[in-house]
Amino acid sequence: MALSVVVLAAGKGTRMRSALPKVLHPVAHKPMVQHVIDTAQQLHPSTVHVIYGHGGDALKTALKGQAVNFVEQAEQLGTGHAVQQVVPHLGSDEKVLILYGDVPLTRLATLKTLLAAAEKTDLALLTVTLPDPNGYGRIVRSKQGAVSGIVEQKDANIAQLAITEVNTGMMVVHSASLKRWLANLQNNNAQGEFYLTDIVAMAAVEGVKIATSQPDEISEVEGANNRVQLAALERAYQLRQAEQLMISGATLMDPARVDVRGQVTVGSDVVIDANVIFEGRVELADGVVIESNCVLRNCKIGADSRVKSHSVIEGAELAAGCSVGPFARLRPGAVLEQGAAIGNFVEVKNTRMGPGAKASHLTYLGDAVVGAAANIGAGTITCNYDGANKHLTEIGAGAFIGSNSSLVAPVQIGDNATVGAGSTITKAVAAGELAVARGKQITISGWQRPVKKEQ
């Protein structure tokens, strides 16, 4: 049977105290509602409807280009009213999965279990038993255990308030029944709202068997109303990512001090020290070591390479056996071939380092190609920018660039050529030659230092 997903996202989120609509607040750099949509899309629904109210423009901009149908709920008259807005878009014989845009951590497996529970009946609820059910709608069951309704906190009597099984809000409803029940909703309750939860009692009265299923973890059904709860969701998400990395073969020195804001894949025997942040897509091959306090964004690190403390790597690709840092910065287009080494206070941008090439200290390499086993001395600068355009520096295999040299691009240093320390190189140096371009040292013998005049 076809599946439609409805994501409730019309709430204002006043307690966020933010210009940003609540559902756009991020968990791991991704809007909460995007987490919900991404999980929902994995169920291959025919449509994902997003019900919006406040901040519709911001929501449409954030979700631009995605296969979602936006449905406006101009006034927020309750969860039942919200789902009523989507009725014209629903078919007569499909399953409708209702999710909340501010509950981002629901697992795919949990939704699949809920859908399976709804296979033989018209209504299945995702419920959870909480030590403190305060604030939630309570699941009311008969003596025999059959669900007879949901009572909201504000409408509950003392006996009902003691119920610890609560409504997560997520449910699967058959579209024909949903339409019938929604048409009968009333708002004569404590909050004067049209409660979606009132359809449960209607189903029970009709004799519909109401199925329930539960998530594995409470964090899967938790929402964020304020930034304290948002931070708690972030931690829960990060712990999950950390566990996934460990199960995939990485040792984390402290699973509570790693942040994954994107997708990280790890080989076996990877070691990640404390306070490492991953963003975008990062691949770590077997045996990679990432020392403490590094940021890695959209990069690939080859087998047995080591990224030492306080390095920032973005848009770079490292082959096997490379070494970077401590305190190194690799920018987009940095490519390190096998065994290349980048040391402290070295910045590398759009530059290929050949196998075994080294720049060990205090260097800027921009728009350069460095041959195999070349050695770039401390303080070397590729002067790649003339104020208008960027130019290429080519350094041959086995070349040796003496310390504190400026290579004014475009310029070529041949294979096995040597540049004397302190040179400013503006012309090509042929293979095997030595170029020295600096003031000649003169020694003045017998020179006397000035002495202070008597006052």
User: CB 33 → ligand UD1: shortest distance, Å?
Assistant: 9
Site for ligand UD1 in 24-63 (CB under 6 A): 51
Which of 34, 106, 197, 423 is the binder for ligand UD1 (CB under 6 A)? Answer: 197
Which of 6, 48, 195, 219 is the binder for ligand UD1 (CB under 6 A)? Answer: 195
Which of 152, 234, 279, 317 is the binder for ligand UD1 (CB under 6 A)? Answer: 152
Which of 45, 55, 78, 379 is the binder for ligand UD1 (CB under 6 A)? Answer: 78
Q: Does 218 bind ligand UD1 (CB under 6 A)?
A: no
Q: How far apart are CA 293 and CA 310, in angstroms?
A: 5
Binding mask 86-125 for ligand UD1 (x = CB under 6 A): --------------xxx-----------------------
- Could you tell me which stretch among 74-82, 255-263, 301-309, 428-436 binds ligand UD1 (CB under 6 A)? 74-82
User: CB 84 → ligand UD1: shortest distance, Å?
Assistant: 10
- Could you tell me which stretch among 9-17, 155-163, 203-211, 316-324 binds ligand UD1 (CB under 6 A)? 9-17
Closer to ligand UD1 by Cβ: residue 102 or 347: 102
User: CB 72 → ligand UD1: shortest distance, Å?
Assistant: 11
Decide if 260 contacts 276 (C-beta within 8 A): no
Closer to ligand UD1 by Cβ: residue 167 or 214: 167
Q: Does 212 bind ligand UD1 (CB under 6 A)?
A: no
Residue linked to tokens 């829960």: 236
Respond yes or no: is residue 44 known to be catalytic. no
User: CB 313 → ligand UD1: shortest distance, Å?
Assistant: 38
Q: Does 137 bind ligand UD1 (CB under 6 A)?
A: yes
User: CB 146 → ligand UD1: shortest distance, Å?
Assistant: 18
| Residue-wise burial string across 385-401, b where 16 or more C-beta atoms lie within 10 A, e elsewhere | eeeeeebbbbbbbbbbb
Closer to ligand UD1 by Cβ: residue 1 or 232: 232
User: CB 211 → ligand UD1: shortest distance, Å?
Assistant: 17
Contacting positions for ligand UD1 (CB under 6 A): 8-11, 51, 73, 76-79, 81-82, 100-102, 136-137, 150, 152, 166-169, 195-197, 223
Question: Which residues are catalytic, by number?
Answer: 361
